Amino acid sequence: MDFSVAAILAQDGITSGAIYALLALALVLVFSVTRVIFIPQGEFVAFGALTMAALQSNQFAQSVTLQVALGAAVFVQEVVARWRGGATNLPWAFIKFIVLPLALFGFVRSVGTAQLPILVQVALALAIVVPLGPMIYRLAFAPLAEASTLVLLIVSVGVHFALLGLGLVMFGAEGARTTPFSDAHLSFGALQVSGQSLVILAVSLSLILTLYLYFDRTLSGKALRATAINRRGAQLVGIGTTQAGRLAFTLAAGLGALCGVLIAPLTTVYYDSGFLIGLKGFVGAILGGLGSYPIAAAGALLVGLLESYASFWASAFKEVIVFTLIIPVLLWRSLTTSHADEGEQ
């Protein structure tokens, strides 16, 4: 391997690692706030990419139908809660879960989305996919917020398989790619850097910086941090942990969908492609102990570089090499971490 090949592999690894870092941050956020190992994170990657592809090909994005269906289910849940004596604002719930999804459905159905500017298409794809996150939290996880981590994991696996099947129904078995954000290529000696890779790096760094400022400077961000540190203590000082869970799922869905939009021009995405991508983000999150954002981001970058170089030396075993990375980490953490009961957290 000469320097030019090593530099190309490093570029690919850093680009992939930037995507894995965003997914790792999303997984750490959801787990620290809600104790949910969010296995369906990868489905949001696939939904974001395939929704964007549908919009660019002027096809109807069936994911907006899913948003309407989930919105109706959440509204029924709100009605039942109000009937049982809960303090639910039904008019606002009707607007949020019925009117807005139907309005988005009508807009996507009636407008030629292929003619829209690419940034408008991105915004529309995010508007379709991101609300699915808090809706899924309301339906599947909020009623079990006080359940054990094992129960939440089982529910997460069930949601993953449900979304996987819905993805096949909505988008079919064929993959899709989207138009690159930039066709430019920069030359640094023998190294060619694509504009799309630079877009991915710029967006990833911007989002990581934005998340840092959000958690450090805003009231809602500090509330999420407090919930992550001590859920019961956050409840005692008046922080709504259910609202924190919805916000965590919203941010995770947004990061996942945006990752899908970013990678769709570089690789063909299928309805089930997100699972493997999400697992690599999960490896990065495991390296951070599902609790440290900086270490999770660094671990995800390591995963990207390891995958890239492994594809050169042993392409048939690159996935095995990447996923084997978590075994020594889990063993080390099992030996060095003191175990506490869930009720003490």
> Rounded distance, CA 172 to CA 270, Å?
8
HEC readout, the chain = CCHHHHHHHHHHHHHHHHHHHHHHHHHHHHHHHHCCCCCCHHHHHHHHHHHHHHHHCCCCCCHHHHHHHHHHHHHHHHHHHHHCCCCCCHHHHHHHHHHHHHHHHHHHHHCCHHHCCHHHHHHHHHHHHCCHHHHHHHHHHHHHCCCCHHHHHHHHHHHHHHHHHHHHHHHCCCCECCCCCCCCEEEECCEEEEHHHHHHHHHHHHHHHHHHHHHHHCHHHHHHHHHHHCHHHHHHCCCCHHHHHHHHHHHHHHHHHHHHHHHCCCCCECCCHHHHHHHHHHHHHHHCCCCCHHHHHHHHHHHHHHHHHHHHHCHHHHHHHHHHCHHHHHHHHHHHCCCCCHHHC
> Rounded distance, CA 141 to CA 328, Å?
31
Residue 193 lies in a domain: yes
Residue 343 lies in a domain: no
Residue 111 lies in a domain: yes
> Rounded distance, CA 22 to CA 149, Å?
23
Residue 197 lies in a domain: yes
Q: How far is CA 299 from the centre of its chain?
A: 17
Q: Dihedral of the CA atoms 294, 39, 139, 28 (nearest 10)? A: -10
Residue 341 lies in a domain: no
Q: What total of structural domains would you count in the chain?
A: 1
pLDDT for 26-59, tens place per residue? Answer: 998 898 888 888 999 999 999 999 999 999 998 8
Tell me the residue range of the domain where 49 lies. 3-335
Residue 231 lies in a domain: yes
Residue 275 lies in a domain: yes
Which pLDDT does position 338 carry in this prediction? 60
Residue 254 lies in a domain: yes
Give, rounded to a whole angstrom, the gap between the first and last alpha carbons of the chain: 49
Which pLDDT does position 345 carry in this prediction? 45
Number of CB atoms found within 10 A of residue 115's CB? 9
Which positions of the chain have pLDDT values less than 50?
Answer: 341-345
pLDDT for 215-274, tens place per residue? Answer: 888 888 888 888 877 777 877 777 777 888 899 999 999 999 999 999 999 889 999 888
